[in-house]
Amino acid sequence: MSISPEFLWILVGSAIVTLIPRTLPLMLISRVKLPGYAAKFLKHVPLAVMTALVAQSLLTDGDAWRPPGDPGLWAFFPTLAVALLTRSLLLTVVAGVCSAALLGWLV
């Protein structure tokens, strides 16, 4: 199997285009001293983004709301309990997959 030069250029270009928007803001912000209120505000951004992503995936299925008896919705509760008790990403993912599979099998 051979790789054409065009493919290599596309691969390198894609890597650069992906890397620049991720590293450039980090490099610029790390050199600037943010005011206290900005640093305090930005501290909560990852939690807000994660909450929005989880809520969207839990409560909606594409364009429609999930029904209350949906197994994916009920699998959230044991997963949340494991996450809060263990603070382990691996155990949380395993609990989520197992509870979703078990509830999907039972329902």
Is 93 inside any structural domain? no
User: What pLDDT does 46 receive?
Assistant: 83
Is 56 inside any structural domain? no
Please report the DSSP string for 38-99 in residue order: HHHHHHTHHHHHHHHHHHHHHHEETTEEPPTT-HHHHTHHHHHHHHHHH--HHHHHHHHHHH
Count how many domains the chain has: 1
37-72 pLDDT per residue, tens: 888 888 888 888 888 888 888 888 888 888 888 887
pLDDT class of 8 with cuts at 50, 70, 90? very high
* pTM of the full structure: 0.55
Name the DSSP letter for residue 32: S
Domain ranges, residue 11: 1-32
Is 26 inside any structural domain? yes
Is 15 inside any structural domain? yes
**For the residues 12-26, what does the mean pLDDT come to?**
90
Is 27 inside any structural domain? yes
